[in-house]
Amino acid sequence: MDLHGGSNQKWLVEDQGNDTSHLVNVATGKVLDTADCSTADGADLRQWSWLNNNCQQWHRTPRPDPHQPQPRGTIRTVRRLIGRALTAVLAVLALILTATPAHTAVPASPAVTFTNPIAERRADPQIYKHTDGYCYFTATVPEYDRVVLRRATTLQGLATAPETTIWTKHASGVMGSHIWAPEIHYIDGKWYVYFAAGSTGDVWAIRMYVLETDAANPLTGTWTEKGQITTTWESFSLDATTFVVNGVRYLAWAQHNPSEDNNTSLFIARMANPWTISGTPVEISQPTLSWETIGYKVNEGPAVVQHGGKVFLTYSASATDANYCLGMLAASASSDLLDAASWSKSQTPVFKSDASTSQYGPGHNSFTVSEDGKSDILVYPTAVTRTSPATR
């Protein structure tokens, strides 16, 4: 393309410290990125949303002419825009994960302002937008004793929608305590809820379980227990989520690997059916970075969104206080997702506490889409103080 001086050909250089910078496109606000983090000669360059990884960091040489104006930094502007978008429980994720211009992007939804919080005294929130025109919401309740659902035709409407208990913990034995992190999914004509639970005999014997109903409306259906999701080890496991890439359904979850000195790592496997994995699970991340190991050594709460031929998997790290934050893995959708080498990890959190908005510990998020289906939405919990657990 010829040089024409338009804003889409102008870049601002922002110093990141450690002798590195990133380049921000004036027209789009996106940064210069090396495709797939390639180190090969002739590697493709592209603009991409800011992920704060090595693919987007550059060394630069100062201008030799001191009379030429130095580039004005824009990271404060970019971060301020992202911060404003993400201070709500729901926010347009397209600001941080939009596909590259190599693919024709679907126009984003008109700007929408959400009145937050969407739900009080709820943690681990998930919203599923179904083809019936309803948005379905579930989350952990503070009593840890049941699975709840609500639905509305708009995301904002979930704030006032009535809530229904669809399942209650067992009086004794397994699934008798610590009912955590439910997720609802519609698969092959049936509804499924994934959740974690402990036992009355050992409340910390946390395992993953599945419920099923064939009712059109899951709030009124009869739910059947499909049992525990069996994995490699009989160990602490939770936060199951399921997604499809190129026609293949996967399960991702967090589990303690007995051979590792940590609390939980992240795993992925193909699914034989909605309550059974197939093959050998693959570990794709463990908590090794400093921000992943504050209080506890944790990678948990995987959540998936796909854009521009890539699969992004966010996860939560560290203890569930103000240090609880989101990290992110990324892989090409055409790669072998069961090969740990296909996944690259952001070296810094992609979302964390913000004292200026009194939002702390925004861990265990989920993703949904806007009512018109054009924009991705980030759903996350926060606490109102540095030491309290997430309650909204």
Q: Report, as residue numbers or ranges, the catalytic residues.
A: 124, 300
3-class DSSP state of 183: strand
Instruction: Return d(Cα 222, Cα 348) in angstroms, integer.
Output: 44
For residue 96, the surrounding DSSP H or E stretch is helix 94-97
Position 139: which residue type? A
Return the HEC string of 61-92.
CCCCCCCCCCCCCCHHHHHHHHHHHHCCCEEE
Nearest Cα residue to 314 out of 261, 248, 378, 229:
378
Q: Give phi and psi for 3, each to the nearest 5.
A: -75, 120
Q: Give phi and psi for 96, each to the nearest 5.
A: -120, -15
Position 41: which residue type? D
For the chain, how long is the longest CA-to-CA vector?
A: 77
Position 284: which residue type? I
